[in-house]
Structure 1
């Protein structure tokens, strides 16, 4: 058999009250007047009276003692109003947090990018974004394409800028631009006297310096030469663009690099030469999870990257 208190508790748990209901009860508790409270919540007095009666019925307890002179809270009413005010504050805080997120007053975006992009193109975009949305936290992970796919898949980054299409069902890839390879030689190298573009295969008699096989830079060179029946065997394989530049500068070899990468080199004592058509082109694109919603901040940053591609294009000319 249910007691009166347990029945009231059941009514309270099962009550389906709206924010409007809570505001009406709080307004009446503060004004102690149906007329004034009705004005505050934009209801007629009769509508407010009906609303209060419905709330009391739903929770199974009287909230107000009504007399001809005043409206006073009952003990249950005091408890209810205290919790109602807290619920209204929580609701307002939640709405404000959502508004801040939508309007980019808060939030975070994490991007994975190829090292050459992370050191050239992306910082300018981040700086522009941060000027407009200083409260949004940005994070950048410079990594090769393979690890970048895993970061996207695991939800550790919002999206990645890579050179390769993962061709995997759970990931979506969209090419945004291309990166043209150039030949980098030390000043005074015999190839510097060559007139016009140079084919990559005609340079193989000279020692080459390249990145390791896991890097997209190396993979596109390997694929181009393999299609011509040639094998690429660099004398140095390193992991950092700056190291390649230093080795070339000291006359230890030449190197074929994407133009975004060459923009990071110290140009003194180095000569950049074009490769003959069609050359070697590295596609650059964005990788995201399929059917996964993006935050407002991530969408805004992605849009900024797209609309500012002329900056990257200027690097590639």
Structure 2
């Protein structure tokens, strides 16, 4: 019997059979009547008889013993029907899974985002999405700009929310908004008594606190000052926005940060000063692989993120 089972299953896999073929065989095995089975699979009796004969020819075994009074399964037929029913169930589960994914009932979306974005507006967007699509699993990588591009390139995230980087031309970047830089200083700092904007280069006489060179925040500051022939040398370089805020509050320095980053700090104890025109604006946008299709869930989440980013204040809003 084991030999029959193995041989029948091998033929079942290798034969060019459709789900219609499998359903016809299963229907005949259950009804034991060509007339009743033909009705179930919407075929004429002659068409069903021809279909069964073709299936038997393809697998190289008789599935049914036909008499004038009954239709009975052979040993090979019993094995075939067992596997056919299993394949039909798997096919139905696969189709249901695809339907669920298309209709956002299941699936997953993974996003990379700058830490300032991951800790500001992204959680609210995730919450809104999860409320509408609770069965879709969301994942978030809060990471700096360089690693975010790498995650997209390696296919580890569906898309990334980050600053522009002209060195990543193999990926598709679309700017959605801008994030302007402000200067923050502790209460009682001499710069806090100023009225109106200040040029960043005019603050370099005071100790600065900033992020490392790999962070987009630092890169935009470096580029702005380098264009003016100046070199930026902060007294502290730290990885986390919260650490910058704590150091500034303790009077250890001042810092130029984007507004999305400042929104994460206990800003009530800090003085915020706009930078003189043109100031520094950090583009914020979405990064995706070129010519790579997105799942319905990823498209839906991207749409919500776009809407949320479009509501972030632009530099022109602060004139």
TM-score (norm: length of structure 2): 0.89
> Paired residue for 2:310?
310
Deviation at 1:8, TM superposition (A): 8.8
> Paired residue for 1:221?
221
In the alignment of these two chains, the number of paired residues is: 313
- Relative distance call for 1:202 and 1:10 in structure 2 (3 A) is closer
Separation in structure 2 between the aligned mates of residue 300 and residue 180 of structure 1, nearest angstrom: 28
Cα-to-partner distance string for 1:35-85 (whole Å, 9 max, x where unaligned): 211111111222222222222222232222223322222222222211111
| Equivalent runs, 1:180-191 vs 2, <5 Å | 180-191=180-191
Alignment gaps of 5+ in structure 1: 1-6
Separation in structure 2 between the aligned mates of residue 147 and residue 114 of structure 1, nearest angstrom: 10
| Contact preservation (8 Å) 2:225, 2:232 | yes
1:193 maps onto 2:193 in alignment: yes
Moved more, 201-210 or 222-231: 201-210
Deviation at 1:228, TM superposition (A): 1.5
Alignment gaps of 5+ in structure 2: 1-6
Moved more, 62-71 or 81-90: 62-71
Cα-to-partner distance string for 1:104-144 (whole Å, 9 max, x where unaligned): 22222222111111111211111111111212222211111
| Contact preservation (8 Å) 1:152, 1:158 | yes
Moved more, 215-224 or 227-236: 227-236
> Paired residue for 2:207?
207
> Paired residue for 2:16?
16
SS of 1:282 mapped into structure 2: strand
Separation in structure 2 between the aligned mates of residue 302 and residue 162 of structure 1, nearest angstrom: 13
| Contact preservation (8 Å) 1:121, 1:311 | no
Separation in structure 1 between the aligned mates of residue 122 and residue 13 of structure 2, nearest angstrom: 52
1:287 maps onto 2:310 in alignment: no
| Equivalent runs, 1:230-241 vs 2, <5 Å | 230-241=230-241
Separation in structure 1 between the aligned mates of residue 279 and residue 238 of structure 2, nearest angstrom: 23
Cα-to-partner distance string for 1:175-231 (whole Å, 9 max, x where unaligned): 121100011122232322322222212222222222222211111111111111222
TM-score (norm: length of structure 1): 0.90
Separation in structure 2 between the aligned mates of residue 281 and residue 61 of structure 1, nearest angstrom: 74
> Paired residue for 1:112?
112
Separation in structure 1 between the aligned mates of residue 296 and residue 16 of structure 2, nearest angstrom: 32
| Contact preservation (8 Å) 1:166, 1:173 | no
